[in-house]
Amino acid sequence: MACTHGYQEKIHQYIDQEMSYNEELTFKNHLMNCENCLLHFRELNNVEKQLKNAPAISQPSTFKQDIINRLPKESKPKKFAKTIKEHPLITACAVFLVMLMTSAFIEFQSDQNVYVSNYEGIQVEGNRVIVPKGKVIHGDLTIENAIVEIQGHVNGNLTLVNSELAQTNSNISGEIVQVNRFFKWASMRLSREVTEFFQQFIYQ
Amino acid sequence: MENEINQIIKQVKKGNKDAFGVIIDAYERRIYQHCYRLLGSFHDAEEVTQEAFVKAYTKIHTFKNKQKFSPWIYRIATNTAVDWMRKKKPLYILDQPIAVGENITYLDHVKNTSETPEETIEQKENQDEMQQFLLQLPSKYRVVLVLRYMDELSIKEMSEVLDLPIGTIKTQLHRGREALRELMHGRAKGGQ
């Protein structure tokens, strides 16, 4: 009959030297009084000893050269794939940047609507933006995708994005800035979006 | 040692095959012994050792530099050996005992009829009694026992090799020893 006191697991704990001193005393005490556990212990101890005494296997010869001969040669596309795998952060940044640029570029091309930053007192006829005679515009003015006629007066800077100035009577007290390039458009656009975003909060 | 190895692996990742030669020198003996203990055949152990190193080379980019190399290579070798056992099953059965409790295998019967050089190898293999017992165990027990006693890995290292929690490793080690005890002492597990 096997011992029912759950000492089988304890035998393994003892062999693995995972017992506290007190546990060990109780365990040994039990062994002295339980024939089954003692036999079990002796057998496991023997297994343990034989496992530890198993002879080391000597290798017949070295196969270093055989292994090196079997190594695959690296191809160039694989090397590229390897660089990508090794630097996931840089890859992610590059992909993100490319996507950002593409989407911005697409928007740049589709954004061909006339835009005027301040419509007060300004006439818009098709793609023509006119500041009528006698009108005075206070503050800076930004106009996009339009042909601009200034007959009145602008009291500030005039920024023209993808726009032409058809008529100048030098009625502008500030500077005239022409923006046609993509990057400048992008920064202009960004600052506009940001101000509009904050304006929303102010109005709410 | 581990630090040096990790430096060498950086070289291997750049495609330096000579650097990989240094890795082979450092681990070949241990991996060969590990494979032999799992497979019980010198031929198979040689083949699997080579295959494991080739795999390690092709997968070297999956090795992270903060990792320890030795559990990583043991893991590859173990997986390769277990795959090998599955593929080789028909031949491998020859090494298994004919009936439970007997240590006579089919190969022992064949051996009596003729003497070839190959058989001297087989005999050499049979001299190691423990090896015969190990081969009769289910592979999951064989793997833990070999890692613990032949490769002399710590329980923590074993849990890295097998990707199992420490508790599971301990349980499998206990069961493996019990299975081995039953084989060696020819007695059914009592009372459970």
The answer to whether the CB atoms of A57 and B24 lie below 8 A apart is no
Nearest CA in chain A to B48: A67
Non-local CB neighbours of A3 within 8 Å, separated by 6+ positions: A34, A36, A37, A40, B191
Cβ atoms within 10 Å, residue B186 = 10
- Among the partner-chain residues A50, A54, A64, the one whose CB lies closest to the CB of B21 is A64
- Among the partner-chain residues A15, A60, A70, the one whose CB lies closest to the CB of B54 is A70
Please report which confidence band the pLDDT of residue B50 belongs to, taking 50, 70 and 90 as the band edges.
very high
> Which ipTM value was assigned to this complex?
0.73
The answer to whether the CB atoms of A67 and B17 lie below 8 A apart is no
The verdict on B21 touching A (C-beta cutoff 8 Å) is yes
Domain-wise residue ranges, chain B: 2-191
Point out the least confidently predicted range of A56-70, A132-146, B41-55, B129-143: A132-146
Q: How many CB pairs under 8 A join A and B?
A: 99
**Looking at residue B192, what is its pLDDT?**
38
Residue with the bigger pLDDT between A144 and A29: it is A29
| Domain over B2-191 is classified CATH 3.30.365.10 | no
**Looking at residue A87, what is its pLDDT?**
82
**Looking at residue A111, what is its pLDDT?**
65
Answer yes or no: is pLDDT of B105 > 80: no
pLDDT tens by residue, B116-131: 555 555 555 545 788 8
Point out the least confidently predicted range of A17-31, A116-130, B25-39: A116-130
Q: Are A174 and A154 in contact (CB under 8 A)?
A: yes
Q: Are A151 and A169 in contact (CB under 8 A)?
A: yes
Q: Across all residues in chain B, what is the average pLDDT? A: 83
**Looking at residue A156, what is its pLDDT?**
81
Residue with the bigger pLDDT between A170 and B111: it is A170
Question: What's the whole-number mean pLDDT along residues A33-48?
Answer: 91
Q: B162 CA to chain A: closest CA distance, Å? A: 20
**Looking at residue B63, what is its pLDDT?**
92
